[in-house]
Structure 1
Amino acid sequence: MRPSTPAATNCLEALIAYKQNPSTEGRNKLVRLNAGLVRKVAHRILQQCNEPYEDLEQIGYLGLIRAIERFDPTQGCAFSSFAVPYIRGDMLHYLRDRSGTVKIPRRWQDLQKEAQKLQPQLQRVLGRTADETELAQALGVPVSEWQEAKFSNKNRHLLSLDARVGGQDDSAITLGETLPDANYQVMQKLEEDRAQLQRAMQGLEEGTRTVIEFVFYNGLSRKEVAKKIGVSPMTVSRRLQEGLQQMASCLGAAKA
C-alpha cells in the first residue's frame, strides 16, 4: 500500500531509514512526525474518562514508541493503522489498572443508578435532556459530587479485551474476539510488552520511579505527588518527562 499524502511518505521514509540504522535521533524524529496520532487518540479517550489529558498523552507516547519498534515497512500496512492499537491499548491499560485500584464509594454507585432512572423522567418534564445542574438538583447533591460520581463510574466501566460481550459473565465471546485479528494480535503483544515495561521501570533512579508510580499506577495528580514527596509540581513534571524518556530508550534498546 503506497502512502497517499506527503506526510505519510515522509513518515515511511523515516521509518525505513530508522530500520536500516536505528538511533535515538531517528526514533525521536518518528515520534515528532506521529505526535498527532497520540493527541488524536488521547482526545478520544478523554471523552470516556476523567483523567488529565497530559497523563493520557504521555502514556500514548510509550505505545507509539513500541509501534515504531515493531513496525515492518515491507508489509504494506499504513503506519497510522498499525500504531493506533498500540497507542490506544496503552491508554486503556493505564485506565483499567487505575480503576482496579480505586474503590468507588457505594454512594456514588447508587447516585449513578438513580440518575439513570431520573434522566428519562426529567426529559419528559423539561422536553429536553437535563443538564448537569438540573440532574444534580433532582438527585439532591452538589453538582461537583454528581460529576465525581459520574466520571468515576465511567472509568470503572471502560471495557478490557477480556470483558464479555453484552456484559454477561456467561457469554462465550470476549470483546477481544470481536476485533479484527490483526488488531487483537497487537493487543496481545501489548500484554507481553508489559513485562518489558516493568524491567524499564526498575532501571530508573528511585526518585524518578516513585514519581511515575504515583502518577500512572496510583492515579495521583502532579500536585498531589509534589505535596506527597515534598517537591514542586514543576519538579514532578521534569522527573516524569525524564523517566518516560529513559523508559522509551530502554524499550527501544530491548527491540534492537
Structure 2
Amino acid sequence: MKTKYNNAQGMELLITYSRNPSLALRNQLVELHTGLVRQVAHRISNQCTEPYEDLEQIGYLGLINAIERFNPHQGCAFSSFAIPYIRGEMLHYLRDKGSVMRIPRRWQELYNKGKKVRKQLTTSLGRTPKDQELADALQVSLEEWHECELALQNRMLVSLDSTINQNTDSTVSFGETLPDHRYQAKQSQEEDRLQLQRAMSQLEDKTKEAIECVFIKELPRKEAAKRIGMSPMTVTRHLHKGIKQLIILLESQVA
C-alpha cells in the first residue's frame, strides 16, 4: 500500500531519526519521500538516454544520503535539502556511464544568452549577479534557469573532439561540456554549515545569540544589544569569546 505523505509526520520521523537512527526508521523515511526521487527521475529521463527505472534506483542513494545528513532543527524543508542530493547522484551516474544528454534547443540558446547577460549584469551591478537577478533579466523562472544550467553543465559525450547530433539540428562537442561544480559546491557548503551549527549549539546562550544577531542576521551591534538586552560593549565581548570558541570547536570537528 502506498504511503501518503504528511509534512508533520515526515518531520517528526526525521527528528526521531536524528536522535536515534535505525535501519527500519530510515526505510520508513525513504518510503515516505519516494515522490521526490520520482519527480527528479522523470525530469532527467527526458534529457538523457538512460531508462527512468535506472535513474529512480540511483536517486534513492541520494535520498538516503540526504536523510543521513539532514538536520531537522536547521529551519529548512527536507525536500529543498534532499533534491540536490538526489539530482547529484543521478548526474554523477550519467557521467560515469558516459550517457548522452538530450538538451532542448531552447535551453542551449538560453544558456548562451545567460552567459552574455551575466557579463552585462556583472559590469552594471559591480558584482556577480544572483541567480534570481539573472533569471529575471532572461525573463524565465528561477527553476527553469537552474534546470537549464544543470543540464548544460552535465552533458555526457564520448571524447573531447567528438560531436553528437541532438534531437534538434544543432551539435555539441565534448570539449564544450562543463563539470557539475554546483552540486559539489553545494555539498561542501552544506557540510560546513552543519559543522558550524554543531559548534554553535555548544556555545553559551548569550554568546550564541550575539553571533546570530551580528553575523547571521547582520544587525548593527547597537540593535543586537537592544534585542539581547545587554550593552554594545558586552555584545563585542561575547563576539570575541564566541569566535575563539568556534575556532577551537571547528578545528576539533575537522580533526
TM-score (norm 2): 0.44
TM-score (norm 1): 0.43
* Larger helix share, 1 or 2: 1
Bigger radius of gyration: 2
Higher RCO (C-alpha under 8 Å, 6+ residues apart): 1
